[in-house]
Amino acid sequence: MPVRTRPLIATLALAAATSLALVTAPASAAKGDDWSHPDLEKAYDATVKYRSEQAALNDGYIRTDECVEDPKLGGMGYHYVKPAHVGSTDPAQPAALLYEDDHNGRRQLVAVEYVVLDTDRPRPRMFDRNFDGPAVLPDLGSHYSLHAWIFKKNPRGVFTPYNPRVTCDCPPTEATS
């Protein structure tokens, strides 16, 4: 091999390694010192495939086109709900996936949410913490919920319902058929 091509190969190898690092960086971007419970890793591993919106739809999550945002607290984004997982406290089976629109008209996974109906049982717990609520939604009734911001860092904490870094500024994308 000629001597001149070695620096070129080394440069290309460095560029390839750098681009791989950039591609994998967003997957762990939300991880930080506040990932205080080992089951968060289980939730992440089970749901990372839903970074593809189509994978979520294929697995039975139902897309919504209403973005949830509070002007003072921040946003939650678009909820994709899997009715079969309502009531689950299994980290690998969240009832909802939360997405936000990027500036290219695609939805990006930002968080997961666990939803348990309010019954006569004690308040549900996951990740060593109580669920928020109860709250009432017209189609769901009284329920508890727990958000986990495992795909987009929430400066207010992993389990805070609203994320000040999530907005509903982008218009909803066309529904996939």
Phi, psi torsion values for 38, nearest 5 degrees: -65, -25
Beta bridge partners of 129: 126
Q: Is the pLDDT of residue 24 over 50?
A: no
Residue 85 confidence (pLDDT): 98
- Cβ contact 81:128 at 8 Å: no
What is the rounded distance in angstroms from the CA atom of residue 85 to the CA atom of residue 165?
A: 27
Q: Is the pLDDT of residue 152 over 90?
A: yes
pLDDT tens digits for 85-122? 999 999 999 999 999 998 888 999 999 999 999 998 89
Averaged pLDDT for residues 63-84:
96
* Residue 34 confidence class, pLDDT cut points 50, 70, 90: low
Quick check: bond before 171 cis, omega within 30? no
With a pLDDT cut of 70, the percent of the chain lying above it is 76
Residue 120 confidence (pLDDT): 83
* Residue 8 confidence class, pLDDT cut points 50, 70, 90: very low
Look at residues 107, 110, 101, 100 and name the one whose alpha carbon lies nearest to residue 48: 110
Phi, psi torsion values for 48, nearest 5 degrees: -60, -30
Q: Is the pLDDT of residue 20 over 90?
A: no
More confident residue, 164 or 5: 164
**pTM, full prediction:** 0.78
Residue 94 confidence (pLDDT): 98
* Alpha helices (runs of H) in the chain, residue ranges in sequence order: 5-28, 39-47, 53-58
Look at residues 108, 114, 139 and name the one whose alpha carbon lies nearest to residue 126: 114
Cβ-defined contacts of 94-99 (< 8 Å, 24+)? 94/43, 94/47, 94/148, 96/61, 97/47, 97/50, 97/56, 97/61, 98/147, 99/53
More confident residue, 18 or 46: 46
Residue 169 confidence (pLDDT): 77
What is the maximum span of the chain, computed from C-alpha positions, in angstroms? Answer: 77
